Structures are given as C-alpha cells and as structure tokens.
Amino acid sequence: MHIENQERVIRPARNVCGTLRLPGDKSISHRYGMLAGFAQGTSRFTNFSTGEDCASTLACMEALGAEVRRLEDGTLEVTGVGGRVKPAGVPLDCGNSGSTMRMMAGLLAAQEGSFTLVGDASLSRRPMERIRKPLELMGARLTLTEGHAPLHLEGGALKAINYTTPVPSAQVKTCVLLAGLQTAGTTTVREAVRTRDHSELALRAFGARLTRTVDSVSIAGSQVLHAIDAIVPGDISSAAFFLCAAALFPGSELMLDSIGLNPTRATLLDVLTALGVHISVLNLEEKNSELVGTVQVSAPQEGLGSTAIGGALAAQLIDELPVLAAIGPYTNGGIRIRDARELRVKESDRIALVVKNLRAMGAEVIEFEDGVDVPGGQTLHGAMIDSGGDHRIAMAFSVAALRAEGETLIHGAESAAISFPEFFDLLDLVSER
Ligand code: S3P
C-alpha cells in the first residue's frame, strides 16, 4: 500500500559505520520479473527488489497471465506464459515506473491484442515519444496522449529494424530488443553511449541469442525464453546513498555485501575514488553474467577533492547524480555536472529539485539547463526538503542532512519505497550520533 506525505526527520551524524546487505537491484529485478513472466517454466529469484516499482512490473505480468508467488523464505517464484500473454482486459498500471512502461510496451507490441498502459501523475508527465518512434518503425500501432501515457497499443506481427537511439536510454534499447525477440529477422539497436546492459545479460541468461559489438546489440526473432533460478545482486544505485554518506565522514568504515558491480553501473566507484574516498572491492564473482562483490569504503582524513562529470559519464551515472550533487557542498573543490539534461525528465525535474533543496539548506549552487555547479567548502543547515515525490531526491537529501547543522525534515519521505523501502531504517543503523 502506498502511504502519502510522510515526513522524516534526519539528525546530523558523527560518523557512518557498519556492514549492510542491500535488497536486489531494481533494473535487474524488472528484467528478471518481466522475462520470467514471459518465459516457459517457473523461475525462482532470491533477493528480488523490494521496491514498489518492481512490484508494478510483477503486477502487470500477473494481469497478463503470469503466476507470481512469494514464498515464506523470501524467494519469488514466477511461472511464465510461455511466450503468449493473455490480453489483460483492464489497463496495466505501471505506477511510478518508467522502466515498466517503456519495456512492457516493447514486449506487448508484438503480442496479439489491445493493451493500455497507465501510470501515476509523475509517470504520465514523462516522455514516451522515444518508444513510439522505434515501435512504429517496426509497424506497431501505438497511441499516446500528447507524447505521454496513457499509452494504447494494438499489438501484432512486427518487422525487424536497425535503430539508433537518439538519447542514451537502456529502457528504450530494451523496449526495441523485447519487440525484436518476437519478430522475424534480426533487430539491431545502436547507441552512441553504452547504457546499462542488464537486458542483454538477462536475455542471454533466459536462453536468447544476442550478438554485440562495441556500440550495438542484435537479436534474432522467434526465440523462446526458458525459466532460470537467480540471486539478484544488491542495488548499486541504492548503495550509492550509503557510499556517499560514508564519504562525508573521515574515519568512516562501511562494508556493503554482494553489490552488483556490472561495469555499466559501477562508475560511481571511480568518481568516489577520484574524490579521494578509499574503496576496495572484495569477493568479486559472476552470477548469471552479472558481476557481484563486496565494497568497502572509508573517507579520507583530508576531506573530499573535486570532480567534473559530463559526456558519457553523465549518462552512466544518471541515477547517482542527485546524491553526488547533494554532497557537493561538503567537498573541498566542488562538483560540476553537465550533459545531464535527462535529469529533468526523470520521476521529477531532478535538476530543479536539487537546486531548490540545496538552496533551502543554505548552499550556493548554480543551475544550468543540463546540470549544476556546486561549489565546495560550504556549511549547510537543516531545512525542509521537498522530495517532489521522487525517491532519489528524498534519499539524496537525507544523506546531505547527516552533515548539516541542525535537523532536516524530508517531505514525501515515503517515496523512498519506490526503489528502497528499507532506506531510512538502514540509514539509522549505520549513522553514529
Ligand atoms: C533504467 C534506465 C535509466 C535509469 C532508470 C532505470 C533501466 O533510465 O535512469 O532508473 O532499468 O533501464 P533511461 O533508460 O530513461 O535512461
């Protein structure tokens, strides 16, 4: 059940220490849930994401005929429809989840029947033209409302295409691949900036054949997916809040077990290292083609340096930019972010909210259309934070609040549950006061 308008008080901390194991990666869980619901047989997952977004994906797959069971030991069992969904008869509710809507559209475009995808107010403001374009090139019939959800699809046989994504987006790439999986011929997606490749790895794990080059991925049509058993790695984008919290306190000691370290997702570790944070990765292993390891961090005595993020890095770090901006004032040299215009069309306008909330805490910050400049060496005070109902804004400013003077009140704190319901409890657990 979604509770609205919860507030959360965050008091300053003296240090951040401890060992945590985090719930499963949201991006991987979406893909495992969707592919398992579509495949033949029963898949079993441990450490599946506990977030509301992945629950939206599972609920949509159930409405399309998949069976979803949560066992007492926490295992998630999904029995798939064997490649043919049943028309839902009711609109499929994607909640707050752009991944659900965009990826599901590709899966359903090649299925017989009519499908309507709806979302909450935030999702209904987000751009959907980016999936209409390639799906129409494949021959799909898709109706949007002024470029937004509700999205209506008349599914049916499609034709293979060769498509270059105009904006770096793993969701758009996946949308085309899932349509291509069911389409005669070979569908190719080319991208200028390599985005997260969980779909490619997950499709292979479910038995599909894909070929990849440096900047493209091709999938042959008419392939059957087979159920898998998998452990979902801990979510590195959730870990980001704890890594950044630990980065703020010289003498911190934080260990995060079994975190997903897929190279298309782990750029944050390089950025934190460049800022001077001591990071070690232990027990690195591969599970269902995804890299998993334990991450150990401690902050430098001399404080954090400075960094500039732009170009391909901005796309690879897109979900971590709000928390990096939020810790910017506490660095010695500041954080500069550019080429991140996509932040304006996430669950909220994340650039606008980062600027508004940093200023509320007394920070100096300069706003750009595609980023921010956050000077370093600043002292912040507690404030009322407007999360805008955006999980990553609520969590980013809870981290900034740990080093502020006085208490901070996070409005819309419940939004953290979109990706990370356990966030506030775990933050309490590792914050020393
Ligand atoms: C995601 C891709 C990214 C990211 C989102 C999850 C995914 O979105 O911001 O949180 O799981 O594929 P875009 O594809 O819009 O860049």
Tens of pLDDT, residues 129-183: 999 999 999 999 999 999 999 999 999 999 999 999 999 999 999 999 999 999 9
**Which pLDDT band, with edges at 50, 70 and 90, does 87 fall under?**
confident
Judge if 31 and 19 occupy the same domain.
no
Average pLDDT, the chain: 97
**Which pLDDT band, with edges at 50, 70 and 90, does 5 fall under?**
confident
Ligand 1 within 6 A of CB of 240: no
Model pLDDT, residue 16: 98
Residue 279 sits in which domain range? 7-24+233-432
**Helices first, then strands: H and E counts in the chain:** 13, 24
Model pLDDT, residue 3: 62
Ligand 1 within 6 A of CB of 387: no
Judge if 84 and 203 occupy the same domain.
yes
Model pLDDT, residue 2: 56
Which backbone phi and psi does 216 adopt, to 5 degrees?
Answer: -145, 160
Q: What is the pLDDT of residues 221-276, one digit of tens each?
A: 999 999 999 999 999 999 999 999 999 999 999 999 999 999 999 999 999 999 99
Domain-located, residue 345: yes
Q: What is the pLDDT of residues 44-81, one digit of tens each?
A: 999 999 999 999 999 999 999 999 999 999 999 999 99
Cβ–Cβ < 8 Å for 243, 272: yes
Q: How far is the CA of 55 from the centre of ligand 1 (A)?
A: 17
Domain-located, residue 1: no
Model pLDDT, residue 227: 98
- Given 230, 255, 281, which residue is the final one in a domain? 230
Q: Name the residue at shortest CA distance from atom 13 of ligand 1.
A: 169
**Annotated active-site residue in 319, 386, 425, 428:** 319
What's the predicted TM-score (pTM) here?
A: 0.98
Judge if 220 and 276 occupy the same domain.
no
Q: Average pLDDT, stretch 300-313?
A: 97
**Angle, vertex CA 144, rays to CA 140 and CA 147, nearest 5:** 115
Judge if 164 and 100 occupy the same domain.
yes
Ligand 1 within 6 A of CB of 319: yes
* Number of separate domains in the chain: 2
Domain-located, residue 250: yes
3-state secondary structure of 317: coil
3-state secondary structure of 66: coil
Judge if 226 and 257 occupy the same domain.
no
Instruction: Please state, in angstroms and rounded to a whole number, the distance separating the CA atoms of residues 83 and 208.
Output: 13
Judge if 383 and 251 occupy the same domain.
yes
Domain-located, residue 239: yes
Q: What is the pLDDT of residues 383-395, one digit of tens each?
A: 999 999 999 999 9
- Given 203, 230, 257, which residue is the final one in a domain? 230
3-state secondary structure of 158: coil
**Which pLDDT band, with edges at 50, 70 and 90, does 313 fall under?**
very high
Judge if 133 and 91 occupy the same domain.
yes
Ligand 1 within 6 A of CB of 419: no
Judge if 315 and 340 occupy the same domain.
yes
Q: How far is the CA of 299 from the centre of ligand 1 (A)?
A: 29
For CA atoms 183, 184, 189, 195, give the dihedral sign: positive
Domain-located, residue 298: yes
In ligand 1, which atom is closest to the CA atom of 318? 9
Domain-located, residue 2: no
pLDDT at 1 over 70: no
Judge if 19 and 49 occupy the same domain.
no
Judge if 265 and 409 occupy the same domain.
yes
Q: Average pLDDT, stretch 80-90?
A: 94
Q: Name the residue at shortest CA distance from atom 11 of ligand 1.
A: 27
Domain-located, residue 203: yes
Instruction: Please state, in angstroms and rounded to a whole number, the distance separating the CA atoms of residues 317 and 51.
Output: 20
Q: Is 319 noted as a catalytic residue in this protein?
A: yes
pLDDT at 362 over 90: yes
Model pLDDT, residue 88: 86
The CATH number of residue 316's host domain is 3.65.10.10
Q: What is the pLDDT of residues 111-135, one digit of tens each?
A: 999 999 999 999 999 999 999 999 9
- Given 230, 262, 281, which residue is the final one in a domain? 230
Judge if 255 and 384 occupy the same domain.
yes
Q: How far is the CA of 151 from the centre of ligand 1 (A)?
A: 19
Judge if 287 and 224 occupy the same domain.
no
Ligand 1 within 6 A of CB of 99: yes
Q: How far is the CA of 27 from the centre of ligand 1 (A)?
A: 8
Model pLDDT, residue 123: 98
